[in-house]
C-alpha cells in the first residue's frame, strides 16, 4: 500500500510571521502523525524560516516553483540548488497557475523536472484539464499528452523520486470539486499510462495526489479511493485546523 502524502501549497499568501506561526502550529498539532508524509510549500522568502520552524518534526518543506538553469542572468528566478541549500526537499512543477498565468509549456517543465532531480529534490508534477476540455470529452487525452511530454526521456529510476498530482483546473479555487469517482477515474488512467511508459512496478509505486478545492469535508472520501494517494491542498492549507483535519483524513 502506498504511503499517503499531504501537501499544503500556500501560494502567494501570508507574511513571515504568519508563515512561521502556521508551520509551528502544524508541527505541534501533527506531532503524532507518523503514517503519512506532510509537506509544506511556502512562498520563496519564507522557505528558510519555515524549514527552521519545521526542524525536529516529520514535516518537510518544498518550493512552489524553480528555474531549470543552475545559475545565470535570470532576474527574479530561483534555481534548484538554491532551494536545496536552504533545506527544501520538494518542489512543485507545472502547477496549472504556472501553465496558465506564466505560459509554461510541457517542454519547459521537462527541463524543470531534470533540474529538480539533479539537485536532489523530489518534484511533484501537476497535470490537469480545463473545463472546456472536460466538457468536450478530451480530459484524458489532455492529461495523457501532458504526462508524455513532461516525462519524455525519463526512466524508471527517475520515477522513484517523482510524484504526480492531478488537478482539474476547473476545480481549483472555485469551490467545485471533482467527485471522488471522477478523480479516481483519472488517477487510474494516469497509473495505467505510467505502467505503459515505465512498467507496472513503477505505476504501482508512484503516488498520485488529487488537487482541486480539497477541504476537510471531502478529503476523507477522496483519499479512500484506490488510486488517490493524498492531496495537494491550496486554500485549506492556510489554516491549522483545516489542514490538520485533511492530513488526518
Helical residues (DSSP H) of the chain, grouped into ranges: 16-29, 47-54, 80-85, 96-102, 106-118, 131-135, 139-150, 156-159, 180-198, 200-205, 216-223, 240-247
User: What are the distances in angstroms from CA 232 to CA 11, 132, 139, 210?
Assistant: 12, 23, 19, 6
Q: Which one is catalytic: 129, 167, 187, 225? A: 167
Global pTM? 0.97
Domains and their CATH numbers in the chain? 4-247 (3.20.20.70)
- 210's enclosing H/E stretch is strand 208-210
Read off the pLDDT of residues 129-162 as tens digits, 9 standing for 90 and up: 999 999 999 999 999 999 999 999 999 999 999 9
Beta carbons of 197 and 158 less than 8 angstroms apart? no
77 counts as catalytic: no
Read off the pLDDT of residues 169-207 as tens digits, 9 standing for 90 and up: 988 777 777 899 999 999 999 999 999 999 999 999 999
Read off the pLDDT of residues 87-102 as tens digits, 9 standing for 90 and up: 999 999 999 999 999 9
> What is the predicted pLDDT for the residue at 81?
98
Cα gap 170→175, rounded to integer Å: 9
> What is the predicted pLDDT for the residue at 234?
95
130 counts as catalytic: no
Q: Which one is catalytic: 60, 67, 95, 104? A: 95
pLDDT(1) > 80: no
Read off the pLDDT of residues 112-129 as tens digits, 9 standing for 90 and up: 999 999 999 999 999 999
C-alpha R_g of the chain: 17
Amino acid at each position: 500500500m502506498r504511503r499517503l502524502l499531504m501537501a499544503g501549497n500556500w501560494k502567494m499568501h501570508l507574511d513571515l510571521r504568519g508563515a512561521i506561526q502556521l508551520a509551528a502550529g502544524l508541527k505541534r498539532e501533527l506531532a503524532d502523525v507518523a503514517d503519512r508524509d506532510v509537506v509544506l510549500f511556502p512562498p520563496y522568502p519564507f522557505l528558510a524560516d519555515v524549514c527552521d520552524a519545521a526542524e525536529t518534526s516529520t514535516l518537510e518543506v518544498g518550493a512552489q516553483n524553480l528555474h531549470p538553469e543552475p545559475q545565470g542572468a535570470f532576474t527574479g528566478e530561483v534555481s534548484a540548488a538554491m532551494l536545496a541549500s536552504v533545506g527544501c526537499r520538494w518542489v512543485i512543477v507545472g502547477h496549472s497557475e504556472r501553465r496558465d498565468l506564466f505560459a509554461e509549456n510541457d517542454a519547459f517543465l521537462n527541463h524543470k523536472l531534470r533540474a529538480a532531480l539533479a539537485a536532489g529534490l523530489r518534484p511533484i508534477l501537476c497535470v490537469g484539464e480545463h473545463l472546456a476540455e472536460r466538457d468536450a470529452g478530451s480530459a484524458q487525452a489532455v492529461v495523457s499528452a501532458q504526462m508524455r511530454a513532461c516525462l519524455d526521456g525519463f526512466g524508471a529510476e527517475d520515477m522513484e523520486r517523482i510524484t504526480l498530482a492531478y488537478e482539474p483546473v476547473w476545480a481549483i479555487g472555485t469551490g467545485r470539486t471533482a467527485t471522488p469517482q471522477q478523480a479516481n477515474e483519472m488517477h487510474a488512467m494516469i497509473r495505467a499510462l505510467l505502467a505503459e511508459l515505465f512498467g507496472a512496478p513503477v505505476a504501482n509505486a508512484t503516488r498520485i495526489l488529487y488537487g482541486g478545492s480539497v477541504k476537510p469535508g471531502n478529503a476523507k472520501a477522496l483519499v479512500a479511493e484506490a488510486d488517490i494517494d493524498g492531496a495537494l491542498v491550496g486554500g485549506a492549507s492556510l489554516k491549522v485546523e483545516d489542514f490538520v483535519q485533511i492530513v488526518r483524513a
